[in-house]
Structure 1
Amino acid sequence: MPPEQRGRVLVVGARTAREALLTRLAESGFACASAEDMEGVPQAATSLQPEVILLATAAKQAAETLEGIRSIEQLRHVPILADVSRSRSPETLKKLAVDGFIRGAEEMVPRVEAAVRAGRLRESEERTRLRMGMLLDITQAATSSLEMEEILHIAVDKVGRVTGSDRCSVVLVEGSHARTGTVVATQENPSLVQLEIEIVRYPELRRALETRQAVLIEKAENDPLMAEVRPSILPLGVNSILVQPLICQDDLLGALFLRHSRPDTTFGRDEQQFAQAVAGVLANAIRNSRLHTAVKRKREDLELAYVERYRELTDANRRLKELNRLKDEIIAVCSHDLRAPLQVLLGHGRLLLESTITAEQKQSTEAIIRQGRKILGLVESLLEKGKGEAARLSIEPRRLDISLLCKESTHELNILASQRGVTLRAEAPESLMLIGDEVKLHEVLQNLITNAIHHAKDSGRVTVRALRLTRPDGDAVKITVQDDGSGIPPDELHLVFDRYRHGPKGTGLGLAICKEFVELHGGEIWAESPPEGGCIFVFTLPMAQEAPRKPQAVVKEEPVQPRVLVVEDEAEIAAVLAEVLRSRYRVEVARDGQEGLARARTMRPELVVMDVFLPKLDGLEATVALKSSSDTAHIPVILLSAHQGVAEKVRALNLGAVDYMSKPFNAMELLNRTERALKAASSEREVERPSAVTLRSGSDPGTNLYDKRGLMAKLEVEVAKVRRYHRPMSVAVLRPERPQADVPRGVADVLRKRLRPQDAVAHMGSGVFCVMLPECDAESARNVIQRLLPELQTSSGLAYQPAVADVSQDSDPVDRILDKLGAPLVP
C-alpha cells in the first residue's frame, strides 16, 4: 500500500524513542517525519503535512511540547497521540489534553490508523460544509441582485477558495459554435473584465462547448486533447483542468473554467459536483440578467429622477429638522434670558408702586407691572411649548365681555401709540359675552394692536372694532384690527401666521401664537388687504349662548336651563367643568361614582358628564348602572378620560355613553358636545313631532347625525375657512342602490366609528349619507370611502355608490357642489 494511502505521521520525541516508532510506522505503510523538540516541528510539518502527531517525549517536557504544537496554526486541529508505553511517569502523560494514548506496541498501528481516518472524515465533513456554505452564498447573491458582474465575481472567488484552484474564470459565449468568448470574471485578476479570447486556442473549452458536457483534464502533460497546446502550457505549470458548461433551459451561455498548477493535484468527484451545482446557479442568474437588461435600461431614467427627488426631499427634511431644533433652542434660550430681566422689572415696579408717586405715575406703574406679568406668563408658555410638540397649550375658560377687553387693551397701548403719533381708538358699541381665557385673548389683542401701531403711517390711525356676527351655526364675535400702513401683498397673506415667517418683512412668533390661541377657543383668524390700503387682521370667536327667557304669562317651577350633573373626583377639574357648563346649564357636582349614580337617580338630570376613573365606582360601571334602570336609561352620558386610545372610546360607547372626550378638553368643544347630546336626547323623546320641527335642530333624529340643514350650515363655515387658507377638504356623497324609506342604522354606526373625530357625517334622507373630510384631497377621500364600502354593505345589506369632490378646488357654492354629487336638495 502506498504511504500516502495509509497516512502521514509526525513523530516528536527523543531520538531512541523516535527511531523505534518510525521503523514500525514505516513498515506498516505510513509516511513519516520526525522532530526531536519544538524547534524542528515547524519545518517537519511544512514538508510532511501530517495527519497525526505522535508524542514520544519525556513526561516533564510533554506539556510544554504539546502547548507549542497547538500554538502552530497549521497543526491546531491535527490529532495528537501520546506514547506512554516507555514513560517512567505514565500518569503524568495521561493528564495531558491529547486525543488518545498508546500503551503498547501492538496498539500503535490501530490507534494511528483510527486517528488518520477520524481526521480525514472530519476534513471531508469540513470541506462538505464549506462547499454547501459557499454554494448557499452564491445562490443568495444570484437571487438578491440582477447585476451579473457582481454575481460572477462573488462566484469565482468562492469557487476558487473551495476547490483550491489557482485559476477560476467565467467565459460567456453566443451559441455553441462561437469562435470567440468573453472572460467576464476571473479569480486571478478581479479587475480584469470583458477580455476577448479565441475559443480555438483552448481545446478543452472548445470540447466542453461543442459537447455541452463537462471536460476534465487530469494530467495536462500527457492528455491527448492538450497535445496541440502542450508546448505553450507546460512552461506555465498547468497540471489539471476542469471546464463546466453553463446551460439554462437548453441555452448555452458559456463555461466555468478551473485550473490546478500544483503537481499531484486534480479535481476530485466532490469538486466536480460542486462545480456542476455552481454552474447551474450561475447559468440561471446570467439568463435572468440578460432578460432584465432591457427593462433595466428603461428603468434607469426613472430611478435617476427618483434618486434626485429623494435627495432633494432628504436635504429638505434635514434642513427642516435643523430649523426645528434651532427653533426649540431659540425658544428655550430666549425664554430663559427674558425671565431674569422681567423679574427685575417687576420687582422695581412693585417698589415704585409702594413709594409716593402721583396718580398719573401710579397708573403708568400699574400698567408696567401688569404687562410685565403678562410677558412673564408668555415666557412660561414658550418654555412649555419649547419642550416639544407633545406639550399642549390649554385654556382656563370663564365668561367674559370681549368688547370690554378690546377697550382695555386699547387704553393700555395708548401711550405707545402717542409716542409714535398714531391715533388709536376702539369701536365696541355693545356687550359681547363669550367663554374664553382672558389672559390669552388679551395677549392676542395686544399683539395685533402693537403690530398695527408699528406698521401704521406717521400720524396715522389704528382702529379696533368688535361686532356681533350672525351665522347659521350660532352667533360669533368678529374682532378687526385695522391700520393704514403699507399693507401686505395678497399673495403673501397666507404666510403671516407661519412660525418664523411674516413674508419678506421679517420673522417672529407673535402672529403664530395669536393663531394658536384663537384656534384653542374654537375660532379662526386671517389677514386682509383692503382696497383703500393698509392691513386688517380679523379673528372670530363663538359667542356664549344666552339662556332662553321664560314667557311672563307662563309660570313654571322648573328651571329654564337644563340640568347637568358633573361627576369628577379632582376638585380643580370639577370646578373648570362647572364654570364652563354654567354659562348654559344648571350644574350639580358629585365627587365619586356612587354619589353620581345616587344623585342621577334622585335629581334626574338632562345630561351627565362623568370621568371614567372615579373612586368607589368608576365611570364605565356607573354608565352601565344608569342604562340598566328604566328611570335613568334615557339620560345621555358623556365620559371624560385622559386615556386617548380608540379601544377605550369604543368600549365607552358600547356601554351606552353618547360621547367620549379626552383630557385636557377644549371649552367650546365641551359646550358643543353637550348641546349635541341634549338635542339628540330631545329628538329621541319627541320623535313623533312633525319633521319641520325636527329639522330646525340641525340633526337627524334617526341617526343622531347632521341633517340637511345642519350639514349646510357647517359646510358653509368650513368651506369658507379652507378656501381662505388654501387647505384641502373633500365631500363624499354615498347613495344606496335603491332609495330607503327607513334609516339604515348600520351605515350610520360604521361611519361614526370608522371616520375621524373631525369628520362630519349627515343623513340627507332616503338612505343617502354625506361625509365632510377636512384636510383631505379628493384622491385621499376616495381611498377612505373605498375602504368603508365593504363594511357598509355588510352592515346594511346595501351596495353604496360614492361620489367625491374637493370643495377647496371647486368655486361653486356648497349647495351646487352637493347637487353635482347627487345629494338630495335642501328644502
Structure 2
Amino acid sequence: MKKHEIAILTDSKKQLPFLESFFRDRNKYRPSYFSDPALLLDHARVTPPAAMILGMKNISDIARAAGQIPSVALISGDIRRNIREARNCKANCYLYPPYLDIDLEHKIEAIIREKMMHEKMEARKKELEAVIDLTQLISDTLDSKELLYRIVRKIAEIIPVTRCSIIKIDSHNRTAIVVASYENQIFRDIKISLRKYPEILEALTTKEDVIIRDVATDPLMSKVRKLIAPLGIRSILVVPIFRSSKVIGTLFLRTSRSQGTFSEPEIRLLHSMANASANSLFNSFLFEQVEDEKTRLEKLSITDYLTGIYNVRYFYHRIIQEFSRAQRYSSSLSCLMLDIDFFKKVNDVHGHKTGDMVLKEFATVLRRHCRKSDVLARYGGEEFIILLPETAPEGAFSEAERIRKHISSHKFKSLKNKNELTVSIGIATSPHPKIKAHDDLIASADSALFTAKNSGRNRVAIYT
C-alpha cells in the first residue's frame, strides 16, 4: 500500500512527542520532519508531500508558499488569535490543545481526500479541455489529410508516446494503410502487413480497445515479438474510431511507447480524441457533452465536498461582486456568520463520522430556510456564512433570528435521541463607518459572532 508522505515543521517540545507517537503506529503515513522552512519548501518543490503539519512559528512562511499542498495548523499559545492566523495563512484545518489522535487522523484523512478529489477533477478538466482543443483544431479544415495529421499531432503533444498513427483498413483484402503519423507529416499512405500487427487485427475483430501492457509477455504478441524487440516498444494501444456507436469504416488509432504502460486516464483521453476525430464534421453532440461535463466540474469546484453547499472560495468570489454592487448603488449588504454551539462536544461524544452527518444536516436546514437571493457557504469546520444582498440590519436580524429558532427546534436525525443543537450568529451590515472593503464585512460579522458566543451562545449579535 502506498504511504502518504506528511511533511512536518514544528519545534514545539509539546507537539513533537505527540506527532511522533501518532505516526509510530500508523503505517499508511510516512512522516518527514523538518527543522528549517527553506528545506521543507525545497523538498516540496521536488516531491510534494500529501499534506503538511505546521507549527504556528513558521506557518505564514510555508502555507502560502506551498501552493496546493494541504496543511494542518497546530495551534498553540493564544488559541483564538492563532486560529485566525491559521485561516489567514490558508491552512486547510487546525488542531488545538489538547491534541487528540482521533482528531488529527480525521483531519489528515479529510484534507488528503479533498486533495485527491481536486486532482481528479483537474485531470478530468484537462482531458475535457484537450478534447475541446482538438475539436476546435479539426473543425476549421475540410482537408482530410490535414485533419488526420492534426489529430495525431495533438495526441502526441498531450500524451508521451513513441509513435502515434491512424490506420485505415481495407476489409476486403485485409491490408492496412497508415493515413497519418505524428513522427512526420509526409509519412502517410504507407501500406503495412496486418500479419505483423496482431493487435490491429484483434481490434478489427472485436471492435474494442486492445491494450498491450507489456509486449514481452502478452500472448497476443508472441509471433511478432522478435520483430518488435529492436524498436524498443513496450506498450501498445489500439482504439477503434467510432461515431454514434458504429465503427467508422476501418479507421484505427494506434499508439505505442517505449517506457511504461498506458494509464486509465490516458486510455480514456485517447477514446475521447478518437470519438472527436470521428465526429469532426458532426461534432455538435460532442460539444454539448463536453460543455455539460465542464459545467458539472465547475459546479463541483465551487461546492463544499461534505455539505453540498457553496465553499468559501466561491463565497469570496460572490462577496467581492456584491460588495462592489452595493457600493455602486448605495444599497445595504449584510453578512451572517454562524457557528454551531459546542460542536466539539458532538465530535468527542459521538465521533467525527456523526459530526460530519450533523454538519450535512445542519447545512440542509440552513439551505431550506435561506432566501433564494442569499449566498450560503461553509466557511470552515462548524462555521457557516450567509451573504444577504439588499438587506438592512433590521432585515438581517429578523432573518438570523428566524434561522436560529429553526435550528434550535430542529431534531437532528444524526444524533441519538435527536438532540437539539443551537447556533450563535454574528451580523454585520454595509454601509458602516468601519467597513471599507468586503474583508471588513466578514471580519465584522466574525467579531459579532464572538460577542454572541461570549454572551451565552444561542443568540444573535449585531456589529455596532
Q: Flag the structure with larger Rg.
A: 1
TM-score normalised per structure 1: 0.29
TM-score normalised per structure 2: 0.48
